[in-house]
Amino acid sequence: MVLSRGWSLFLVGVGVWTWVIWPRFAVAIWNDPRAWSAGTVGEGSPTSFLWVHALLIAASLAIGTTVGVLGVRGWLAAPRRTTTD
């Protein structure tokens, strides 16, 4: 199957969007007192709140990377339009 250039560009955009959004969310989760057993950022052991969100973030980044790579491969494989006079 060969993706159109439009869909390929969309998939690349989703991959980029994933890498823009999720790392920022990771920082927010890390700095949340609920992520630490002592209730203070970085103190105590990580709670299940942190682990669940870390798993969610890792999975989302993996899926976003895969989608982005598929978009790039689709873009490179899609035939270019040629204009005929």
pLDDT (tens place) for every residue of the chain, 85 residues total: 778 999 999 999 999 999 999 999 999 999 999 999 998 998 999 999 999 999 999 999 999 999 999 999 999 998 776 665 4
**pTM over 0.75, yes/no:** yes
What does the pLDDT read at residue 78? Answer: 82
Nearest residue to 12 (alpha-carbon basis) of 61, 56, 73: 73
Q: Which conformational region is residue 40 in: left (phi greater than 0), alpha (psi within -120 to 50 degrees), or beta?
A: beta
Paired tokens of 20 = 């823009």
> What is the 8-class DSSP label of residue 8?
H
- 57 touches 26 (CB < 8 A): yes
